[in-house]
Structure 1
Amino acid sequence: MDAISALPMRVITIANQKGGVGKTTTAINLATALAAVGKRALLVDLDPQGNASTGLGIDRNDRSTSSYDLLIGEASVAEAAMPTAVPSLSVVPSTLDLLGFEMEIAGASDRAFRLRKALHAHAAGAAQFDFVLVDCPPSLNLLTINAMAAADSILVPLQCEFFALEGLSQLLQTVEQVRDTLNPALELHGIVLTMFDGRNNLASQVVRDVRAYMGEHVYQTIIPRNVRVSEAPSFGKPAILYDMKCPGSQAYIRLASEVIQREKRAAAAA
């Protein structure tokens, strides 16, 4: 199979096996911020809950073609992708059909490479994206493995709370296993600290601990706890559209800038 680095678009998987760490919020707003600075972006929703799709304004009744169809080979990326209210941002929405994906293809030899095959097939066509972001379920199941096997790199949202490093260690072990067995090119793009409350001494200690442990892998941008960011999904909008000036939106815009700069450095070093 061709190396994923051969794709003209960059594939970044956003994953953490813990729920409630800001994973989907990061996927939605980072994709929006990348599109806002002129990048053609696609968000692939691999979480059966479909919150990323809902947060981008895609009604559940309108998801006639989904990431499930993409994974089982019944739809291409071009057929499954839907435009959003954000110019240059499309989404492959999720449905509850994904819950049966693992059982349906358990015996297939290519079960870990379904997303990778779909993205390669798309890259061979005329329509391209600069960035593909993949939002994973909060577990290390076959959907998440597909996302890692398809990715150039993985971005990890990490909540500023007591057990942050414990969960991170487990995830990094999985990344190593995927690198060893499925995708040798997989890199850690970075760790973004989320839900930071500056009034909480523990949160500040977590920031120091994670930076001491992971060094330059941690983005400089920290995503604060922000009511406006929490409200935005209920309106079917990314926070950056809902209230671009709020601290959370501004943080995601800075994060997008960091992601692009890291991509440029990686390309220059290649």
Structure 2
Amino acid sequence: MQVVSISSLKGGVGKTSVTLGLASAALAAGIPTLVVDLDPHADATTGLGVRPSRQTDIGRLLKNARKADLAANVAPSGWVATAAANGQHSVGRRILDVAVGSAFTGIYDRPDLGRRDLRRLSTVLSRVEGYSLVLIDCPPSLNGLTRMAWTASNRVLLVAEPSLFSVAGTERTMRAIELFRDEYAPNLTTAGVVANRVRSGSNEHTFRLAEMKSMFGELLLAPTIAEQANWQQIQGAAHAIHHWPGESARQAAGLFDELLKNLTDSGRMRNRVLRRTPS
């Protein structure tokens, strides 16, 4: 099971949008996926079309990590039913579940968490089975929640816009990951940097992309994700990008398919045989 934190230390770069795009690609590819919504704003939960129910949110599961039963409290993404209703699931059962976000997680979003607290998410995830991929949507800060996510992860995917402040913030995040790995998580690696909201006609974006290539080298992942004019509409409707009509959405879905493949080696992942706790 690969656990990937989607991170940025600068807000407003589309970190949650990238998480949702990768989740949509994973659903389309048939990769059993769990999205952990660790951002107190819980935007990923909303965007994934989760209907309010009796599931215990991830914040309260973290509070009682040793006794927490994540498998009993995940919620299915509404995207799964939408795809089935539209006849888009040709074979087999598709799995896209959500560890529901809430403002309660904010009690851990502080800079003074000790090692025991940093392992809370690792403890919660250690008892869940049946997923090939876990995507953790982190808050845009280097406080306790992000560090908790990094402790539980194999890899960190950084999201950046091709702008001065975002590129500088990404460089700072890479240094933070190195320091964190040395002290807390020796097996943590940087999956790479995805350039998001790229405008092909912008001279500034062209310049910053070249700068990112120079700074990050092979860690700058392909493809870059172009700015999507109707992305807010798609998220507002709580739809997967793969389920939205139109050529623009189809092209964006293809970008996320390619990004997911480059990120996770999805061909090998799909062929793994994993156990799943019955629901």
What is the TM-score with the length of structure 1 in the denominator?
0.86
Change (3 A) 1:135 1:78: same
Distance 1:175 1:69, change over 3 A: same
Task: Report deviation, 1:69.
Answer: 2.0
Whole-angstrom CA distance in 1 between matches of 2:55 and 2:22: 25
**Rounded Cα–Cα distance in structure 1 between residues aligned with 2:229 and 2:109:** 36
| 2:199 alignment counterpart | 197
1:15-73 CA-to-partner distances (Å, cap 9, x unmatched) read 001111110011111022012112111000000000000000124x4364111122112
2:74: which partner in 1?
81
User: 2:28 — aligned with what?
Assistant: 36
1:155 pairs, out of 148, 154, 157, with 157
SS of the residue aligned with 1:42? strand
Range that drifts further, 106-115 or 11-20: 106-115
- Residue number in structure 1 paired with 2:121: 115
Tell me the residue number matched to 1:16. 8
Q: Can you give the 5+ residue segments of structure 1 that lack an aligned partner in the other structure? A: 1-8, 266-270
User: Following the alignment from structure 1 to structure 2, what is the Cα–Cα distance between the partners of residues 21 and 146?
Assistant: 21
Aligned to 2:46: 54
User: Partner residue of 2:88?
Assistant: none
* Counterpart check, 1:252 vs 2:256: yes
Contact 1:67/1:94, CA 8 A, preserved across alignment? yes
Contact kept in structure 1, 2:260 and 2:266, CA below 8 Å: no
Q: Which residue is 2:86 aligned to? A: none
Q: How many residue pairs were aligned?
A: 251
Do the aligned residues in 2 keep the contact of 1:66 with 1:95 (CA within 8 Å)? yes
Q: Secondary structure at the match of 1:198?
A: coil
**CA distance in structure 1 between the aligned counterparts of 2:221 and 2:114, rounded to whole angstroms:** 38
- Matched residue, 2:275: none
**Corresponding residue for 1:91?**
98
Change (3 A) 1:53 1:244: farther
Q: Does the 8 A contact of 2:45 with 2:98 survive in 1? A: yes
CA contact (8 A) 2:261 2:267 kept: no
Change (3 A) 1:140 1:102: closer
Instruction: Please give the secondary structure, in 1, of the residue aligned with 2:157.
Output: strand
User: How far apart, in 1, do the equivalents of 2:55 and 2:136 lie?
Assistant: 19
Deviations 1:66-119 (A, max 9, x none): 11122112532202211112331111110111122347x967651111111111
- Which 4+ stretches in 1 moved above 4 angstroms? 105-109, 262-265
Cα distance change, pair 216–83 in 1 and its aligned pair in 2 (3 A):
same
Q: For the structure 1 residues 263 and 145, does the alpha-carbon distance in structure 2 shift closer, same or farther, using more than 3 Å as the test?
A: farther
Give the Cα–Cα distance (whole angstroms) in 1 for the partners of residues 255 and 5 of structure 2.
Answer: 19
Percent identical residues = 27
Task: Evaluate the alpha carbon distance shift between residue 244 and residue 88 of structure 1 in structure 2; reply closer, same or farther with a 3 A threshold.
Answer: farther
Change in 2 beyond 3 A, CA 1:168/1:102: closer
* Deviation by residue 1:155-193 (Cα, 9 ceiling, x = unmatched): 011111122321012111210121011110000111110
- Deviation of the 1:262 alpha carbon: 8.4
Would you tell me which structure has more strand in proportion to its own residues? 1
- Partners of 2:265 and 2:105 in 1: how far apart? 34
C-alpha distance 244-119 of structure 1, shift in aligned 2 (>3 A): farther
What are the equivalent positions in structure 2 for 1:180-219 lying under 5 Å apart? 180-219=182-221
Q: Report the Cα distance in structure 2 between the residues aligned to 1:215 and 1:36, rounded to whole angstroms.
A: 30
State the partner residue of 1:25: 17
- Residues 107 and 163 of structure 1: is their aligned pair in 2 closer, same or farther, counting only changes over 3 Å? closer
Q: In 2 relative to 1, CA 107–144 (structure 1 residues): closer, same or farther, beyond 3 Å? A: closer
Q: Taking structure 2 as the reference length, what is the TM-score of the superposition?
A: 0.84
What is the deviation of 1:212?
Answer: 1.2
CA distance in structure 2 between the partners assigned to 1:253 and 1:170 by the alignment: 28
State the superposition RMSD in angstroms.
2.2
